[in-house]
Amino acid sequence: MKAPPAPSDFRGFRPAALVFLRALARHNDREWFQAHRETYERELRAPMAALVEEIDVHLATLAPEIIGHPKRSMFRIHRDTRFSNDKSPYKTNL
């Protein structure tokens, strides 16, 4: 018999995450982001990493070939603006 999955750290995204993304859409520049990096880490990056880990536990029984790892499964927030008409440096979605 398989052991039950480990409890997850994912508790959902708090309203502050959406507030941050809306503000980022209005102030999409490096200075603003650096001043609010801690909010990004706490409200978006950490919960998303926990979600990826939780999904990985459940996917292991359905599709073991799919591996959820936060560093590999999450896109970075920085945009590659070299070949884009939109030069805003950050993505406003997860």
| φ and ψ at residue 78, rounded to 5 degrees | -75, 135
Its sign, for the CA torsion 35, 53, 18, 29, is positive
Say if 91 falls within a structural domain: no
Q: Which residue has the higher pLDDT, 39 or 83?
A: 39
| Alpha helix positions (H), the chain | 15-26, 30-35, 37-40, 46-62, 70-73
Say if 3 falls within a structural domain: no
Structural domain of 50? 15-73
Say if 89 falls within a structural domain: no
pTM for the whole structure? 0.79
Q: What is the pLDDT of residues 26-72, one digit of tens each?
A: 999 999 999 999 999 999 999 999 999 998 988 888 888 888 888 88
Say if 28 falls within a structural domain: yes
Task: In whole angstroms, give the CA distance from residue 60 to residue 91.
Answer: 30
Say if 25 falls within a structural domain: yes
pLDDT of residue 44: 96
Task: In whole angstroms, give the CA distance from residue 11 to residue 17.
Answer: 13
Q: What is the pLDDT of residues 10-30, one digit of tens each?
A: 999 999 999 999 999 999 999
Say if 4 falls within a structural domain: no
Domain count, the chain: 1
